[in-house]
């Protein structure tokens, strides 16, 4: 059917409905939509679909409509209007092989269980207490004799950061806000690398160890969480710094590799070899918290040693979907 055929039937629905043309402009809203969003069809006709909504819902609607109009696949979203939450289904309207419009059907979002809201509120306080205790413990284990205990504290802090992230995701979900799936998250690796360089530069300078970042100003986006990657790289670099002498060097580099489904970003941390290991031997020379953080964002970590080239820790991150 065309975008407007059957519109009279849509007026009998209690659920708000808005119909757009192939480029995302409003061509119809039903009576339930007019009532819920306090608008008249004539007033919103011809406007971009996203502008009919308010606040953060505009961006969610814009992305969903763009995805449906370009690819034809149904998309889901959450919107709020006047304190009322809706779950929205955005679908393409097609006639044969032609895509002639898009339709958004909204349904009332169930109110969150108050017990879940309470549980989340009660979780935040002990998480903060644990974080404070671990940070204090790290301060107390600053000497070389405390390497083992410092490593355990860093591992616990890494796990705590992941728990805190998911606690925030849960909070957003309970508030009816848009929540992206962790596996679909993307990050800008070039920016993360620059942030890492800025965080460690002063410590390298104080230790009289040269640090060099070798990466293009722009790199392809990868899947994952920028904070977790930044934490992992910072800890790995400081771990390497503790194992090299003044006058030495550590290099952080990044480059895209592979094509198609095998495309990935290769991040390497290279430093001179200390100790006699066989060439090409694989060793576990990075903190456990680094491996855990990289694993959480879908990456892989391996460390290799070569008697001539030195030691290299290689991180492989899958690229984000285009």
Mean pLDDT by runs of 10 across the 322 residues of the chain is: 53 86 87 88 86 81 80 78 82 77 84 67 75 72 58 68 70 59 67 92 91 92 86 90 86 90 90 54 64 85 80 90 65
**Alpha-carbon dihedral angle through residues 157, 227, 269, 216, given to the nearest 10 degrees:** -170
The Cα–Cα gap between 79 and 59 comes to: 10
The Cα–Cα gap between 217 and 67 comes to: 28
Task: Give helix then strand counts, H and E, for the chain.
Answer: 9, 13
Predicted local confidence at residue 141, as pLDDT = 64
Predicted local confidence at residue 210, as pLDDT = 93
The Cα–Cα gap between 76 and 88 comes to: 6
Q: Residues 30, 17: contact at Cβ < 8 Å? A: yes
Residue in the block written with tokens 């958004």: 104
Q: Residues 312, 268: contact at Cβ < 8 Å? A: yes
The Cα–Cα gap between 76 and 85 comes to: 14
Nearest to 190 by CA among 241, 238, 252: 252
The Cα–Cα gap between 45 and 278 comes to: 72
The Cα–Cα gap between 227 and 136 comes to: 21
Predicted local confidence at residue 275, as pLDDT = 43
Q: Is the dihedral of CA 81, 86, 87, 88 positive or negative?
A: negative
pTM: 0.47
Instruction: At 96, give phi and psi (nearest 5°).
Output: 65, -115
């Amino acid at each position: 059917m065309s975008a407007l055929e059957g519109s009279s039937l849509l007026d009998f629905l209690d659920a708000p409905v808005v119909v757009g043309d192939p480029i995302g402009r409003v061509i119809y809203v039903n009576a339930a939509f007019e009532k819920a969003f306090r608008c008249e069809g004539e007033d919103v006709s011809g406007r971009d679909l996203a502008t009919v909504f308010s606040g953060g819902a505009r961006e969610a609607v814009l992305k969903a409509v763009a995805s449906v109009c370009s690819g034809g696949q149904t998309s889901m979203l959450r919107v709020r209007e006047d304190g009322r939450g809706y779950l929205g289904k955005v679908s393409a309207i097609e006639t044969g092989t032609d895509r002639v419009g898009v339709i958004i059907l909204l349904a009332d979002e169930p109110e969150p269980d108050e017990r879940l809201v309470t549980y989340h509120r009660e979780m935040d306080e002990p998480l903060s207490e644990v974080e404070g205790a671990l940070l204090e413990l790290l301060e107390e284990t600053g000497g070389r004799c405390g390497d083992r205990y410092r490593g355990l504290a860093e591992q616990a802090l890494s796990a705590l950061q992941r728990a805190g992230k998911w606690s925030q995701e849960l909070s957003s979900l309970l508030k009816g806000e848009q929540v992206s799936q962790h596996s679909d998250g993307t990050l800008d690796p070039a920016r993360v690398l620059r942030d890492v360089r800025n965080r460690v530069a002063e410590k390298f300078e104080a230790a009289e160890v040269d640090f060099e970042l070798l990466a293009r100003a722009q790199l392809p986006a990868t899947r994952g969480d920028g904070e977790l990657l930044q934490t992992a790289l910072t800890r790995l670099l400081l771990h390497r710094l503790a194992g090299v002498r003044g006058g030495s060097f550590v290099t952080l580099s990044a480059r895209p590799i592979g094509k198609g489904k095998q495309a990935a970003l290769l991040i390497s941390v290279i430093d001179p070899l200390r100790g006699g290991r066989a060439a090409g031997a694989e060793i576990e020379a990075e903190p456990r918290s680094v491996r855990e953080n990289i694993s959480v964002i879908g990456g892989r970590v391996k460390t290799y040693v070569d008697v001539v080239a030195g030691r290299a820790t290689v991180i492989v991150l899958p690229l984000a979907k285009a």
